[in-house]
Homo-oligomer: A and B are copies of this chain.
């Protein structure tokens, strides 16, 4: 059984478990930290420098070509050339990060200019006298007219201007939001200008505090979306909102409470006063978007699945009950359709797909699988009801990727499993589910129709130890992954026949969706230059296993890339770069949504995609 190590990434302080031999890049990806790799991880550019204060391995020759003596002494490594072989602490500087790199430096592909919505400027306002009785608000506007000509000012702000101007002795910081004067603050507060980017997932909410002056990430925190008590998928949330008088308000209060907790936590971590947070940018699927905004999502749940609103929304954060600066703004990423939301817009934005001549396919697998495919000339997308199988739901021993979850399954002479937290196995998470099916397909315990064969039917090459694990079940046969003797409960951890069917349905839906997108664009597998795996689950998949079960197209594995929490990255980009907000609006407006339920060819593709592939061209 391969060893697992704990890898902690700084400054986030985020830990993940990684198998021996995993590269630092991949481990960082699992911690949702995306590195900038100009050379594609070949070790030739020397850009992916990280510091390893704890558990630093010896330097390889390739690394020594790029590092000076001081760097070697400080345990600086190249992330692409460094493998996990012990518990490690790895400090990833901002210049090595994908996101900050794109913001601050001209990248190879595209440049994103740092341009937050909210800017602060310290000004000395001319004091009034009998010869100059200019009104207070007009006087302040005059002082910033080069930055904002004839700016709008809300009445709430106007009411505060006379006193704040005099309290600050006419030396004030003006807070501008584009061509709007948000507020004035006494003295010079320009150093304190923050924003929070949120990824509002159906299951998990992540908040990231950014310094709007530099675009840098300062702190992050996450919470389980407290709406999960009303059901773990979007349909059950919508049902709750429809069936209960105050359902919508309750759901909104829950998510806003979590948002406020996260803001409080990241501000505490970073020593930032919440009053100095001026903008919140949020991405989420269309249902999460509507629920957070208090917009009823009921029409999403029934044909023709219409969202209330697609275009981007800006409102006062305080109007939603979000506690930042009292004049602070809330932005929601625009949606595409009822089942393809701002999170997918964030993925397309972060991956720069709308700037690429190369055909790319982005896959964000969660409860639903959202797919986007295209180039800068045409982008199409769809949503597949993948079901929550990969998140552990409807799987007999399914569980989330927590301590006690099998996360990897390998079959050699017998079954080898890797369990998170070095604990005894309690169940299996999504990656192990894929591994188990893939390995059993490979050795011949499962046939291409998805049937777990009887011990006597299985391929003659199946090792005896493996064959013995096939046991009778409710629906044909089940497979023992871990015997009861090795589990805390004393019960074996099984992969049952029904689990294999769930995987078939889920992967079939996603694969069929990919087929429809290919048909629509008139392209073949070989035309796809990159398959981008986004989202928490996508970043844990073992690519060859996913291909083995027919979840991903049969293309060379090195074209399949992990892009981390790309939706969250899109949220951060839009928070600090107004150019990205405009691009997001364009993505939202121009990406064509393909309704699979409206296509006669989808059912056919789905039936075919449910079969497991006989063999692969690109193992």
Contact = CB atoms under 8 A, between A and B. Distances in A.
Given A296-B159, A298-B162, A315-B155, A338 B133 contact: yes
A133 B313 contact: no
Interface in A305-341: 305-311, 313, 315, 319, 335, 337-338
A299 B162 contact: yes
B308 A598 contact: no
Contact of A128 (B150, B304, B313): B304
A272 interface: no
A138 interface: yes
Interface centre among A133, A153, A313 (most CB of B within 10 A): A133
A595 B130 CA distance: 7
B309 A138 contact: yes
B155 A293 contact: yes
Contact of A311 (B138, B308, B309): B138
A368 to B, nearest CB: 15
Nearest to A162: B308
Contacts of A129: 304
A235 to B, nearest CB: 17
Nearest to A598: B130
A64 interface: no
Contacts of A138: 309-311
A159 B295 contact: yes
A135 B595 contact: no
B136 A299 contact: yes
A133 B382 CA distance: 12
Given A133-B593, A595-B131, A598-B131, A161 B308 contact: yes
Given A136-B308, A137-B308, A162-B308, A303 B130 contact: yes
B304 A133 contact: yes
Contacts of A153: 309
A451 to B, nearest CB: 35
Contacts of A137: 308-311
A494 to B, nearest CB: 40
A515 B315 CA distance: 52
A226 to B, nearest CB: 22
Given A308-B137, A311-B137, A296 B130 contact: no
A402 interface: no
A134 interface: yes
Nearest to A319: B155
A247 interface: no
A154 B150 CA distance: 22
Contacts of A593: 133
A132 B141 CA distance: 46
A149 to B, nearest CB: 12
Contacts of A597: 130
A177 to B, nearest CB: 14
B159 A294 contact: yes
Interface in A135-151: 135-138, 141, 150
A295 B130 contact: no
A608 interface: no
Nearest to A138: B310
A130 B309 contact: no
Contacts of A158: 293, 295, 308-309, 313
A523 B154 CA distance: 42
A337 B593 CA distance: 55
A133 B295 contact: no
Contacts of A308: 135-137, 158-159, 161-162
Given A130-B597, A134-B306, A150-B311, 5 more contacts: A131-B598, A133-B305, A135-B309, A137-B311, A155-B293
28 contacts: A129-B304, A130-B304, A130-B305, A130-B598, A131-B595, A132-B304, A133-B337, A133-B595, A134-B306, A134-B310, A135-B308, A135-B309, A135-B311, A135-B337, A141-B311, A150-B311, A153-B309, A155-B293, A155-B294, A155-B315, A155-B319, A158-B308, A158-B309, A159-B295, A161-B309, A162-B296, A162-B298, A162-B308
What 9 A-B pairs come out closest when comparing CB atoms?
A: A130-B598, A135-B310, A137-B309, A135-B307, A128-B306, A138-B310, A155-B315, A130-B304, A162-B308
